[in-house]
Chain A
C-alpha cells in the first residue's frame, strides 16, 4: 500500500480496485457485490446489456454515487466515501453517456474548464490580469491548445459547443477530460450514436491517449467490434452482477456472456 501522492506506480500495477461493491436505489439493486481491478496503463472495458449497472459502476468510481457496501482502492488509498471533487483532484476524469458539456461556452472554454483544479492563483490577480496569474493563464492555454491540436478540432475552438454536431461534441468532451491530465479516464459510451468514420476516429484517439500519455482508461461500450479492438481486459456485468472478467477473447467464449447477450431466461 502506498499513500496517495507517493511514488508513481509502475506499469501493470493495480491502479484501482473495486471490492464487493453494492449499490441500491431504494429497493432496486443497481450493482451487487461486484469486484474487479484496473491496472496501470491498460484499457479496461465494462460491457453488458442495458440496465446492467455499467454507468452506476462508473458513477461509484468517480464519487457521484456512494456504494452501500464494499471498498474502493485508488492509487493505494482505500476509501469508504469520496466526493466527485476529491475524485477529480485525485486524477479521475470522465465523459458522459449523453454528452455533458457547458453548452453556452465555446469549445476552448469547455476544455479550459478542465484545468480548473490546476489554476491556483489568487482571484485578485486574475481580475487584474497581472503577473503570475497571467503567466498561469498562458501556460494553461498552451496545454489546452496542445489538446485541441491532438484532437484536430482547431477550427471549432471558438464555436459554442451547443451548435456543434454530436460527434464533435463528444470530442470536445474528451478534450475537457484530457485537460485534467488524468491518471484514470472513464469513458461512458464514447462511440454511442456515431457513424463508422467517427467511431474509427474516436478509437484512434483513445488508443493514442493510452499510448502517448500512458493514461489508464476504463470505458463502457456496446459495439463489440470496438471492445475487441481496443481493450486489454473486459469485465461483463448483467443485472448488476459480474458474470465474466478477462481478455476480450476469453470473455466472448464465456457461456454466461453469450446467454446474457442473447437474452436467455435466468
Chain B
C-alpha cells in the first residue's frame, strides 16, 4: 500500500505543493526532448533513405562539435568556423557516399549497418587525430547564442528559463519543420522514400542514389550540428533531473 501511494499518489501531491517546480521540470523536459528529437531526426533521415540504422549518428554530433570548437581554437572566428563546419559535414556526406555506400549498393541492409560501425570508429580516431583529445568547451556565446537566464515569478517561487534553451528550442523546431516540408512536399522527398523501398527500382526510374545519399547524409550532418552547438545542455540534463532542488 505504501509503495502504491509512493508511486501513484505522492508525485501528484508534490506537484500540487510546488507548482513552480512542476513547470520548471516540464520546461526542462521540453528542451531536452527537442534537442534529442534532432538527434533522432538524423537517425530517421538515414533510415528512410537506406533502411539502415546509422550507428554513427551519435559520433557525427561529436564530430560536428569537435570540428566547430577545434577550428575556433585555431583562431578562426566563430561564424567562419561554423561555415567551415557546414562545408566539412558536406564533405563528410560526399565521402561517405563515395567510399562507403557506393561499393555497397544492392547489398543486404545488415552490411550497410555494419559499415556504419566502421564509420563510427573512423570518425572517433580521425577527430582526435586532427583536433586532439583534450576536453573542449563549446563556443556558444561566440556563436551569438544568448547566455544567462530569465526568471519568472510563479506561484510563490520562480521558474528559470535559460536563454540558450529558448534559442535551442526555436532553432530545433525550425529545422524539424523545414526538413518535414522538404521531404514531404518535394520530388526529392518522394525519391527518398523510393530509395528506401527498393534500390534497383529507384535506379530504373532515373533516381540517382548517389545524389539522394549525399542529400540525406548532409541533412543528417546539419541536424547533428544543432545539438552540438547547444550541446552543453544535452550533457547537463541527466545530472540535473537527478538532483533534488
* A-to-B contact residues, CB < 8 Å: 62, 64, 84-85, 88-89, 93-94, 96, 100-105, 109, 112-114, 116-117, 119, 123, 126-127, 129, 176-177, 180
Contact = CB atoms under 8 A, between A and B. Distances in A.
Given A100-B200, A101-B198, A127-B185, A180 B205 contact: yes
Interface residues of B, number: 22
Given A102-B201, A104-B196, 15 more contacts: A84-B203, A88-B206, A89-B206, A93-B205, A100-B204, A102-B198, A104-B193, A113-B190, A116-B187, A116-B194, A119-B187, A123-B182, A126-B186, A176-B205, A180-B205
14 contacts: A64-B200, A88-B204, A101-B197, A109-B193, A113-B194, A116-B206, A119-B187, A123-B188, A126-B185, A126-B186, A127-B181, A127-B185, A129-B185, A180-B206
B191 interface: yes
Contacts of B181: 127
A89 B207 CA distance: 10
B205 A116 contact: yes
Contacts of A85: 203, 206-208
Contacts of B198: 100-103
A109 B198 CA distance: 14
A176 B181 CA distance: 25
Given A102-B193, A102-B194, A104-B197, A123 B205 contact: no
Contacts of B203: 64, 84-85, 88
Nearest to A85: B208
> What is the interface of chain B mostly: helix, strand, loop, or mixed?
helix
Interface in B171-220: 181-182, 185-188, 190-191, 193-194, 196-198, 200-208
Interface of B: 181-182, 185-188, 190-191, 193-194, 196-198, 200-208
